[in-house]
């Protein structure tokens, strides 16, 4: 098992009412699988709509890489709503 911190900002924080939580996950889990879990848990459409995005360790990652990106113990995933215009 690995421990991954999932943080929420923007609309995801409003909807979950949570700033951050630590999840215990299977050691071979990918970012794509974690996104699937979050989508199911919160009825989100991360990866399927342009409303929410995930960052891995503070960096954006192309969606096609999510399924191949294995999470490591201590990783941090940030879920944020879309931003546009300053």
Residue 25, token pair as written in the block: 């996950």
Give the residue, chosen from 5, 7, 23, 37, that forms a contact with another protein under the rule CB under 8 A. Answer: 7
Binding to another protein by CB under 8 A, coded x per residue (else -) over 54-73, reads -x--xxxxxx-x--------
Contact in structure between 9 and 49 (CB atoms under 8 Å): no
User: If binding is defined by CB under 8 A, does position 14 make contact with another protein?
Assistant: yes
Burial class of residue 55 in the structure, from the number of CB atoms within 10 Å of its CB (0-12 exposed, 13-18 middle, 19+ buried) = middle
Which region among 26-34, 36-44, 76-84 touches another protein (by CB under 8 A)?
76-84
d(CA 51, CA 28): 27
> What minimum distance in Å lies between the beta carbon of 81 and another protein?
6
């Amino acid at each position: 098992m690995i421990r991954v911190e999932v943080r929420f900002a923007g609309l995801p924080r409003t909807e979950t009412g949570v700033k951050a939580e630590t999840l215990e996950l299977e050691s071979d889990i990918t970012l794509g699988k974690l996104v699937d879990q979050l989508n199911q848990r919160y009825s989100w459409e991360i990866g399927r709509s342009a409303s929410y995005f995930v960052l891995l360790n503070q960096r954006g990652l192309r969606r096609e890489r999510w399924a191949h990106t294995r999470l490591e113990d201590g990783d941090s995933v940030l879920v944020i709503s879309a931003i546009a215009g300053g």
